[in-house]
Amino acid sequence: MKSLKKIFLNGIVDENPIFRLMLGLCPTLAVTTAAINGVGMGLAATFVLVGSNLVVSLLKKLIPEKIRIPAFIVIIATFVTVVQLVMEATLPSLFNALGIFIPLIVVNCIILSRAEIFASKNTPLAAVIDGLGMGLGFTLAITLLAAFRELLGNGTLFGLTVMGSTYEPALIFIMAPGGFILLGFILAFLNAMRKEGA
């Protein structure tokens, strides 16, 4: 059994869901048009991940093998709906910005896969730490991507103008192709760092 510290750091570095496991790419590319959206989506997903991991781990002995998928999905969907309702009540602008991608957290690969691979086979504490690690890794990754896209494509960062008025925003970075290209560059950079360091 790995130490809790190792489990936590695993989700941020070694098995970062976006940069290493390549899971949850759908919201990654869709909502990273502004840095604040990245943070919002990341934290919402982290809450769901921690919650569902905890519940799945607590119930792991009670859920029969044959219905584990519907059971997991119901648990995950419940957490997502709670997040959605709370967000609509307290953070309406973020809620609108994330739009349909909040309900899509239900089928975010990261959450179901961690429930299946980790939470259903480990203690509740380990599952919570894994959820935190993976969730934060996800948040950091998409916020990084979103920061780049917002900076290059809009000249702002978290809504504050950073690039001077003479900067002509490269709109491609806000659009889908730009997102893919930028993600590709980040991955290439990280792979190169890994190879050299190793």
Partner 1 sequence: MRDFIKLPLVLFLVALIAGMILGVTNYLTKEPIRMQHEMALRNAREELFPDSEFITLEELSLSEENDNVIAVYESQKDGILVGYIVTMEKTGYAGAILLNYGITIDGMITGVNVGTNSETPGLGAKASDVEFTGQFIGKKNVTLVKGTAIADDEISAITAATITSQAVVDGVNQAIVVSDLVMEK
Partner 2 sequence: MFKELLTSAIAIGIIGLVFGIILAFAAKFFHVQIDSKIAAIRAALPGINCGGCGYPGCDLFAEKVSTGEARVNGCPVSSKEQKAEIAKIMGVEQEDVEPLFAVVRCIGTNDKVTMKYEYEGIQDCAALAALGGGNKGCEYSCLGMGNCSRVCPTDAIEIDNGIAIVDRKKCIACGKCAIECPRDVISLIPKSAEPIIMCSSLNRGKEVKSVCKVGCIGCGICKKVCQFDAIEMKDNNPIIDYKKCEDCGLCAEKCPTGCIEFDFKKRKIAFIEEEKCIGCTLCKKACQFEAVEGERKEIHKIISDKCVGCRACYEACPTDAVHLISR
Q: Which residues bind partner 1 (CB under 8 A)?
A: 33-34, 37, 59, 62-64, 66-67, 70-71, 74-75, 77-78, 81-82, 85-86, 88-90, 92, 96-100, 150, 153-154, 169, 171, 174-175
Determine the Cα–Cα distance for residues 179 and 172; give it in Å rounded to an integer. Answer: 8
Identify the three-state secondary structure at position 74: helix
- Contacting residues toward partner 2, per CB under 8 A: 66-67, 70, 74, 195, 198
Q: How far is the CB of 141 from partner 1 (least distance, A)?
A: 19
Q: Report d(CA 179, CA 33) in Å as an integer.
A: 8
Q: For residues 10 and 154, which CB has a smaller minimum distance to partner 1 in the complex?
A: 154
- Asked whether the beta carbons of 48 and 111 are under 8 A apart, the reply is yes
Instruction: Tell me how far apart the alpha carbons of residues 62 and 98 are, in angstroms, rounded to a whole number.
Output: 35
- Closest to partner 2 by CB, 31 vs 56, is 56
Give the residue with the Cβ less far from partner 1, 85 or 181.
Answer: 85
What span, in angstroms and rounded, lies between the C-alpha atoms of 100 and 55? 25
- Which one of partner 2, partner 1, none is in contact with 195 (Cβ closer than 5 to 8 A by kind)? partner 2
CB of 67 to partner 2, least distance (A): 6
Any residues with CB less than 8 A from the CB of 68 and at least 6 apart, and which?
116, 120
Residues whose CB is less than 8 angstroms from the CB of residue 86 and which lie 6 or more positions away in sequence, other chains included: none
Measured from the CB of residue 23, what is the shortest distance to partner 1 in angstroms?
A: 23
Q: How far is the CB of 198 from partner 2 (least distance, A)?
A: 5
